[in-house]
Every structure is written in C-alpha cells, then in structure tokens.
Structure 1
Amino acid sequence: MLPYVICLMLTSPDGSLHPSRWTTSPDGAKADWASLYEKVQKDLGGTAWMVGRVTMAEISKVTAHPLADPPNTKRPIHFAKPDAESFAIALDASGKLHFASGELYGDHVVVLLGSDVSDSHLAELTADGVSYVVSDGPDIDVAEMLDVLGEEFGVDRIVLEGGARINGSLMASGLVDELSLIVAPALEARHGSDSVIEFGEEGLAGKVELSLIECAPLGNGALHLRYAVLKPSDQGAIDHNG
C-alpha cells in the first residue's frame, strides 16, 4: 500500500518561500516561522520526510568521498538499519548526493536512485550507513518507490517538503494525498518570487482538485490550511530534482 503523502510548505500570502526576505509583522517576528513550521511538521505525524536532490544537498552539505576498500553492494534494495522507525528520504536519480552518516536530525536516511547509479556510489552510501532503493530504469518511478518504502521499510505517512517541481510533479502524478500550507502574515512582493508548486507550462489545471479539510489559526497571525488532493485518473512522468 502506498504511504499517505502530505505536501507541507511555509509561505506568505504573495507566495514567497524565503522568510529571510519577508516583512516583519506585529503578530510575530521572522525568527518564529522555523519553529512554527517544525511544530506543524511534528503534529502531522509522518514516519518520514522527503525532499529532492537540490534540497537534500543543501541539508547534507557533504561532498564525494570515494573509498579505498569499498564494501560489496547489492541492488535494488539496501536497508542499512532495519530497526529504524523514522526516515529522511531523498530523490536522487543520478546519484549525486553524499552523506556524513546514515542519520539526519535523528532520522534514518534513505535515497531513491535511478538504475544508472554507479556501484562505487552505492558502496559509498553503504559505508556511510545510508539505505537506498534503485529503480528499474534511469528515471525514478516514484509510485513504485513509495510502494517499496511502505512494504519494505514500513513507511506509512510521508511529509513531502520538496521544491516546487517535486511538489507539482508528485501532485500531478496522483501521489499527494494532502496539501498543508502554513501562511504567515508577511510579504516579499519581489519580482519573480518562488512558487510552492510548479508543473511546467501547462500547469495543473484539469489534473488536480483541492477540497478544504481545515483552516486553523496557529498563533503569531499565521494560518494552517489543509486541503485534500483529489487525484487524477492517470500518472505521468515526473521531475525529481526540486
């Protein structure tokens, strides 16, 4: 069974994703938003959080470190920590991410990879205590990967914290069950501000419908908007780098 996927984003009414550039508010300072986001994330109760390659590279901040004596590797699945109860999941089709250990923020790291990934990269992940799943093809079949995460890793609820392309692609593919937005009382109003969700030139019209679940005040002037995502009938190719 596929895990329940919640796309969680912190944004302003004008769609900005960068609190460092926001206006201040009499209801709360810029520094409040990170802690507020973490509280909502925890309250959502996910057994895992998932991001794309670009976002995870900003978190891990580790470069390649080839091994003098690489361990044996196996495909398609390597589960380095079978007793893990919470997970940090990264989509990395081309195998460009590196890690200092098999944990981030106390969560076990799992990388989802394309079939073209080298054995030397798998050896590096293995040596660092990182779990991985290799797709059948060079592009990641996320639906298949989510099924593996549910069946083999016991992941039943994922908080998706990707970039706009990841969020839009998974949503268009029918893999997101809920959109959860924290809307802060702040503005950026900068030309070309980032978006929460992006899906090419055609957008998501006709692919996704939203149904309001809840609108709740969070304090500091912020709102928590929760929407059920009504899934399309078919699934398309997706971009995994956001």
Structure 2
Amino acid sequence: MKPYVICLMITSPDGSLHPSRWTRSPDGTRENWSSLYDQVHKDLEANAWMVGRVTMAEISKAGPHAPSVVSSVARPSHYANPSASSFAIAVDRSGKLHFSSGELYGDHVVVLLGADVDDNHLAELAADGVSYIVSDTPQIDMSAMLSTLGSDLGIKRLLLEGGANINGTLMAEGLVDELSLIVAPALEARRGSDRIVEFGDEGLTGKVTLSFIACEPLQYGALHLRYAVQEAA
C-alpha cells in the first residue's frame, strides 16, 4: 500500500527556498528557520523522507568509487538493512548518485533507479550498504515504487522534501496527499528564484486542487500551512 505522502517545504512569502538569501527578520534568523523545519519534520512522525537527485547530491557529497569487491548484483531490488525503522530515499533515474555509507542522519538510504542503470553502479551501492529498487521501465514508475516501499519496507508516512521537479511530478500523478508549508517572515525577491513545485511548461492547472486543513503559528513569526492535495475533478 502506498504511504501517506506529505510534501514538506520551507519558504518565504514570495516563494524563495534559500534562507541564506532572505532579508533579515527581527523575529528570527537562518538558524531559527532551520530548527523550525527540523521540528516540524519530526512532529509529522514520518518514517521516511524523499528527495530528488540534485537535492540528494548536495546532502551526500560523495563521488564515484569502485567497490573493492565486485560480485553479481540483484535486480530489481537489494535491501541492505531490511530491519531499519527509518529511511532516506533518493530518486535517481540514471544512477548518478554516490554515497559514503548506507546511512544519512541515522536513516537508512534507499535509491530508486531507472531500468537502464548499469550493474557496476548497483555493485557500488550494495558495497556501501545502500538499498536500491530498480524500475521495470526507464522512466521510474513512482506509483509502483511507493507501493513497493510500503509493502517491502513498511513505510507508512513519507515526507517529500524536493526539489521542485520531483514535487511537481508526484503531485501531477496524484501521489501527494498533503502540502505542508513553513512560511518564514522574510523575502528574497530576486528574479529566477526556485519554485516549491514545478511541472514542465504545462504546470498543474487542471491536475490538482488544494483544500485547507490547518494554519498553526510557530516560533519566530513563522506559520505552518497545511493543505490536502487532491486530483482535479
């Protein structure tokens, strides 16, 4: 069964996702925004979080490295730590991500890959203690992947935390249940700022609707906005 998926992001009122570029606030600082995000992340009580390739590359910071021993690799899946209770999940269609271990922030790493990923990359992931699931198709079937994460690893509640392309893709496919936004009292106001959600040239018009769930005041003048995400009629 597919996990309940919450898209969790922190933003300024003008849609910026980069606290380092925000105006100063008399109510809080960059460190305060980070601590607020971490607290909401914890309070939502998910047992997995997921990001796209670009975001995960910024987190993992590892480069390619051949495994010391190359053996046969398993397809379509390899679970290095099936008894793990929390998971860090990366979507990496082409097999470009690398890791120095099978854990990030205490969560077991699972990579979702396209069908054309080569065996050498799978061997590297396995040698580093990373779990992986290979799609049946070159373009990853995210609905099937989420169902596999639920059935094989017991993931019931998952935080989707960007970037904009993966957020938009899952929303367009009807796979996101909730949009959860932390809005900080600051601005960036530069041209070309990143978006919370992006879906090609067509956008999400006619694909999804948002229904208000709740608005909770947080520390440092921030708000936590929650919306149910539903397919458009």
TM category, shorter:
over 0.9
Distance in 2 separating the partners of 1:68 and 1:151? 32
TM-score, length of structure 2 as denominator length: 0.98
TM-score, length of structure 1 as denominator length: 0.94
- Residue of structure 1 in register with 2:215 after alignment: 215
Contact 1:174 1:232 survives alignment (8 Å)? no
2:139 is equivalent to residue 136 of structure 1? no
Identity in percent:
69
Distance in 2 separating the partners of 1:19 and 1:170? 25
Aligned-partner SS, 2:30: coil
Give the CA deviation at 1:226. 0.3
Give the CA deviation at 1:232. 4.7
Give the CA deviation at 1:213. 0.4
- Residue of structure 1 in register with 2:14 after alignment: 14
Higher alpha-carbon deviation: 177-186 or 19-28: 19-28
Contact 2:162 2:196 survives alignment (8 Å)? no
Distance in 1 separating the partners of 2:68 and 2:195? 43
- Residue of structure 2 in register with 1:24 after alignment: 24
Give the CA deviation at 1:72. 2.4
Give the CA deviation at 1:125. 0.6
- Residue of structure 2 in register with 1:168 after alignment: 168
Match runs of 1:33-112 below 5 Å:
33-112=33-112
1:87-133: CA deviations, max 9, x gaps? 00000010111100100000000000011111111111111100000
Contact 1:71 1:127 survives alignment (8 Å)? no
Aligned-partner SS, 2:122: helix
Unaligned runs of 5+ in 1: 234-242
1:19-67: CA deviations, max 9, x gaps? 0010111111222111110000000111100000000001001011012
Equivalent residue letter for 1:149 = L
Equivalent residue letter for 1:188 = E
Question: CA-atom RMSD, angstroms?
Answer: 1.0
- Residue of structure 2 in register with 1:238 after alignment: none
Aligned-partner SS, 1:23: coil
Give the CA deviation at 1:199. 1.0
